[in-house]
Chain A
Amino acid sequence: MFDYETLRLIWWALLGILLIGFAVMDGFDLGTAALLPFVARTDGERRVAINTVGPVWEGNQVWFILGGGAIFAAWPPLYAAAFSGFYLAMFLVLLALIMRPVGFKFRGKVKDARWRSFWDWSLCIGGIVPSLVFGVAFGNLYEGVPFGFDADLRFHSTISLFSLLNPFALLVGLVSLSMILLHGAAWLNYKASAAVADRARTAMVYAAIAFAVLFVASGLWLTQMPGAHITSVTDPNGPSNPLLKTVAFVPGGWFANYDLHRVFWIAPWGAVGAALLALFLRKRPLAAFLTSALVPVCTIATAGLALFPFLLTSSSAPDMSLTVWDASSSKLTLGIMLGAVAIFLPIIIAYTGFVYRVLRGRVSEESIAGDSGGHY
């Protein structure tokens, strides 16, 4: 039906859509967890905050699992390189994400202040660490990380956890964190009862301004960084073998796509605009939440459009960087997976919508009081 080039483009877009799905859906409950000890002070308030995401965070986290599975299926070289290259960073994220299911489930099971406080902080750290680390990982894609392949296409790298924590990457990490905090605060503002919602509204102000400033700062910094550029003839229908091209880092390289298609500028302007608009709409909670959902959409689009066609850039062997044209699955697998996504993604969105409809309405201390069975 589609040729290999089109399938690869579709899967590049789907990769972005799945990351956006993760940032929008799991983003608000990561943000809620990260804000938990700060916007909710008493046990009752914390239960309110937790129960705003209680019934839905589990489904939201599947966006992350699915993102991982889709990268494995559609971009196996990227899955192999990124996850083994960022080994300790991934390990940190895993530990943080493991704390979430058990934190949500175990917290309410024992009536003891220290027990509950321990899980509150576990949930908080479990929200902050992934938000920060994913941003840091993205930041490293622009400078490139040291890796290469041998003739068997075995991935070798000298990436260390400390080399990942360079200033630019940390800045991008903070962009990501402020984005998630804004989204989480907007959710609590929409969904939690008075006291928690009030503090969340204040948090929205700080998070939105921080995001706008940090986002613009990282963009300006990026103009000063050399960007990767394919210097050989590429065959978008060629085999997925990253050893068959040449790549150079050129000044302003990460803005080449924006120079070529000026319409792409909608994405970065949209990210800043949506953050500020969410801030102004904060007295209208649903509108503010939906607007804050546009921030991850535009931010990830901004990052992806700058990188295209690169998926993972190598600083030590730029020629071996992974691109959309040489790091995908076979044409058949991409086609099968596209069929699976076309069938199941609409179904997922339909039943997720149904669940949110059933659970509509604010969560208050009264609405969860006494019910030790259902609520956390």
Chain B
Amino acid sequence: MDIVELSRLQFAITALYHFLFVPLTIGLSVLLGIMETVYVMTGRPIWRDLVKFWGALFGINFAMGVATGITMEFQFGTNWAYYSHYVGDVFGAPLAIEGLMAFFLEATFVGLFFFGWDKLSKVGHLVVTWLLAIGTNFSALWILIANGWMQFPVGARFNADTMRMEVTDFMAVMFNPVAQAKFVHTVSAGYVTGSMFVLAISAYYLLRGRHSALAKRSMTVAASFGLASALSVVVLGDESGYTAGHNQKMKIAAIEAMWHTEPAPASFTVFGVPDVAGRKTDFAIEVPWVLGLIATRSVDTPVPGIDELVEMAKTRIRSGMIAYDALDKLHKDRGNAQLRATLDAHVADLGYALLLKRSRPDVQNASDAEIEAAANNTIPNVPVLFWSFRVMVAVGFWLIALFALSFYLSARRKLDSYRPYLWAVLFSLPLPWVAIELGWIVAEYGRQPWAVEGVLPTFLGVSSTDASNVLLSLLGFIVFYSALLVVDVFLLAKYIRLGPEAALGRTAKEEAA
């Protein structure tokens, strides 16, 4: 494997791993806030016990999220140095603001959340818990503003003097519609994960006939919050589809395995077997109109297919070659106004010309065959996207049904009446993680070959360090992270098995006395 593949693999592994912990942190932090609000409003100690118990599990998970987040913050510099140089002027700012505005809040108050029970008033501690939850959620906002810019790079322009993208309109970066849609979709998915975690562990207690007062109250909160969140994930997942259709047509065509443009409104393929070589989808079961409605919000706008998008890419590559040629000449003749005008006219397609860097450094001299190959490289991995998307959506609908049933049972006060239901909940515990990881794959693997859509190809973004260094760190992360995962799951399982008393410690004993 070369340095590009090693670096991509390391990024994917560390990001997917980090993303095991973060959604649960996001979801649990809000659930803790809700439970503690109930405690402060009703004054009933069982609700404080709930907060302490789920808080202990939250803490174990939070530590892992922080530990693996450190890697993410620095990996852009260590492994994606050219990316950092090329887009740092735009991309770095949301990351830094995340630290200033969100992570500082979250990390400062997480200590007081655990250590402040005896040192703060009831309301004071409630405020701390909510500040922790707000910090966690704002954290997600700024990270997704950064990520949203990679999907839809608005508010920035290439500067020939500094050879990089620079911010022209920070408001556009902040209020990027893709970022906003992603934020709501992702935090909702986090809420679903937190709710499913609480619901499934509570179901385990009810199945064992333990801690039923605590378990039923937990399930009541998780069912209603989970149902609202699961609906929001799907509705606002749709919103993601819409915005992706607006500026990432290739991603949506690949998700759909739609090789050729269909007459509007396009149909949605519920099932099929994508045939990459033959550029067709076998055994397709299609629902008319649905894709057209999702992707264009109209019945008369066609959704372009992969073949047509490849043709469009060729046009843009040729235009980008003109920009690159002008840029190359500008290096030797910095004052030449005519070259700058040529560059400006074609600069929007410069990224497409950079796709050719894979085959030659002097991209302005690329042959037709090289252009053809580069254009074909803009197609992401169709079968992976096709299936990831469908499994994710299926999980989403299953979870809506499960939360709806839970909500109904909790309203009828029959949560502990049906053992098959409780088993179904327990076995659904891993599903939010399945959906979340697949969602990452759809969003980020589906962005390939781009690091920043239309601006910078992924392979160009890597550092110029030795591949052996990256291999070493990759293996190190795999060993290290695997060991930590074992310890993490062991501790979570231990604390779940021990039940609330272990987490409550002295408090429970005091109450008994």
Partner-B contacts on A (CB < 8 A): 54-59, 61-62, 64-66, 68-70, 72-74, 76-77, 79-85, 87-88, 90-91, 94-95, 97-102, 104-106, 109-110, 151-157, 239-241, 329-330, 332-333, 336-337, 340-341, 344-345, 348, 351-352, 355, 358-359, 370-375
A-B contact pairs, 5 of them (CB 8 A): A58-B107, A72-B76, A79-B84, A105-B59, A373-B52
Q: Does B301 contact A (CB under 8 A)?
A: no
B77 contacts A153, C-beta separation under 8 Å: no
Q: Does B93 contact A (CB under 8 A)?
A: yes
A373 contacts B504, C-beta separation under 8 Å: yes
Residues of B within 8 A of A77 (CB): 85, 88
B104 contacts A72, C-beta separation under 8 Å: no
B112 contacts A358, C-beta separation under 8 Å: yes
Q: Which residue of B lies closest to A147 (CB)?
A: B464
A155 contacts B81, C-beta separation under 8 Å: yes
B100 contacts A76, C-beta separation under 8 Å: no
User: Known contacts A109-B60, A151-B331, A330-B167; is A70 also within 8 Å of B96 by CB?
Assistant: yes
How far in angstroms is the closest Cβ of chain B from A372?
4
- In-complex Cβ contact of B100 among A97, A154, A344 (8 A): A344
Mask, B495-510, CB within 8 Å of A = 1, is: 1000000111111010
Q: List B residues 58-72 near A (Cβ within 8 Å).
A: 59-60, 62-64, 66-71
Q: Which residue of A lies closest to B170 (CB)?
A: A336
Q: List B residues 478-513 near A (Cβ within 8 Å).
A: 480, 484, 487-488, 491, 494-495, 502-507, 509
B119 contacts A154, C-beta separation under 8 Å: no
Q: Does B277 contact A (CB under 8 A)?
A: no
Q: Does B105 contact A (CB under 8 A)?
A: yes
Mask, B100-131, CB within 8 Å of A = 1, is: 11011101111110111111100000000000
Q: Does B97 contact A (CB under 8 A)?
A: yes
How far in angstroms is the closest Cβ of chain A from B351?
13
Residues of A within 8 A of B105 (CB): 348, 351
Residues of B within 8 A of A102 (CB): 63-64, 67, 484, 487-488
A72 contacts B84, C-beta separation under 8 Å: yes
Residues of B within 8 A of A330 (CB): 89, 159, 162, 166-167
User: Known contacts A56-B111, A59-B111, A98-B71; is A340 also within 8 Å of B100 by CB?
Assistant: yes
Residues of A within 8 A of B52 (CB): 373
Residues of B within 8 A of A73 (CB): 88, 92-93, 95-97
Residues of A within 8 A of B115 (CB): 54-55, 359, 374-375
How far in angstroms is the closest Cβ of chain A from B332?
9
B159 contacts A239, C-beta separation under 8 Å: yes
User: Known contacts A65-B70, A79-B88; is A72 also within 8 Å of B77 by CB?
Assistant: yes
> Complex: how many Å from CA A66 to CA B488?
26
Residues of A within 8 A of B243 (CB): none
A101 contacts B63, C-beta separation under 8 Å: yes
Partner-A contacts on B (CB < 8 A): 52, 56, 59-60, 62-64, 66-71, 73-74, 76-79, 81-82, 84-85, 88-93, 95-101, 103-105, 107-112, 114-120, 159, 161-164, 166-168, 170, 331, 463-465, 469-470, 472-473, 476, 480, 484, 487-488, 491, 494-495, 502-507, 509
- In-complex Cβ contact of A83 among B59, B78, B509 (8 A): B78
How far in angstroms is the closest Cβ of chain B from A111?
11
Which one of B91, B115, B507 has the greatest number of beta carbons of chain A within 10 Å?
B115
> Complex: how many Å from CA A62 to CA B104?
6
CB-based closest 8 A-B pairs: A76-B88, A83-B77, A55-B111, A73-B92, A59-B108, A72-B92, A84-B463, A84-B81
How far in angstroms is the closest Cβ of chain A from B259?
35
Q: Which residue of A lies closest to B14 (CB)?
A: A94
**Chain A interface main SS type:** helix
Q: Which residue of B lies closest to A242 (CB)?
A: B162
> Complex: how many Å from CA A156 to CA B3?
14
Given contacts A72-B91, A373-B505, 9 further A-B contacts (CB under 8 A): A69-B99, A76-B88, A80-B77, A81-B81, A83-B77, A110-B491, A329-B89, A330-B159, A373-B117
How far in angstroms is the closest Cβ of chain B from A185?
22
Residues of B within 8 A of A83 (CB): 74, 76-78, 81, 84
A373 contacts B507, C-beta separation under 8 Å: yes
B85 contacts A153, C-beta separation under 8 Å: yes
A358 contacts B93, C-beta separation under 8 Å: no
- In-complex Cβ contact of B161 among A81, A91, A239 (8 A): A239
B67 contacts A98, C-beta separation under 8 Å: yes
A355 contacts B111, C-beta separation under 8 Å: yes
> Complex: how many Å from CA A352 to CA B107?
10
Residues of B within 8 A of A58 (CB): 66, 107-108, 110-111
How far in angstroms is the closest Cβ of chain B from A83?
3
Residues of B within 8 A of A74 (CB): 92, 96
Which one of B67, B91, B488 has the greatest number of beta carbons of chain A within 10 Å?
B67
> Complex: how many Å from CA A109 to CA B95?
33
Q: Which residue of B lies closest to A61 (CB)?
A: B107
Residues of A within 8 A of B119 (CB): 358-359
A95 contacts B73, C-beta separation under 8 Å: no
B63 contacts A66, C-beta separation under 8 Å: no
B98 contacts A69, C-beta separation under 8 Å: yes
A62 contacts B107, C-beta separation under 8 Å: yes
Which one of A76, A152, A153, A351 has the greatest number of beta carbons of chain B within 10 Å?
A76
A105 contacts B82, C-beta separation under 8 Å: no
A98 contacts B101, C-beta separation under 8 Å: no
Q: Which residue of A lies closest to B508 (CB)?
A: A373
Q: Which residue of B lies closest to A55 (CB)?
A: B111
How far in angstroms is the closest Cβ of chain A from B149?
13
How far in angstroms is the closest Cβ of chain A from B480?
6
> Complex: how many Å from CA A241 to CA B78?
21
> Complex: how many Å from CA A32 to CA B104?
21
Residues of B within 8 A of A70 (CB): 96, 99
User: Known contacts A76-B84, A154-B464; is A62 also within 8 Å of B473 by CB?
Assistant: no
> Complex: how many Å from CA A104 to CA B62?
12
User: Known contacts A98-B70, A102-B67, A153-B162; is A337 also within 8 Å of B96 by CB?
Assistant: yes
B67 contacts A101, C-beta separation under 8 Å: yes
B74 contacts A76, C-beta separation under 8 Å: no
B108 contacts A352, C-beta separation under 8 Å: yes
A336 contacts B93, C-beta separation under 8 Å: yes
User: Known contacts A58-B66, A72-B76, A94-B74; is A66 also within 8 Å of B99 by CB?
Assistant: yes
A76 contacts B484, C-beta separation under 8 Å: no
B170 contacts A332, C-beta separation under 8 Å: yes
Residues of A within 8 A of B63 (CB): 101-102, 104-106
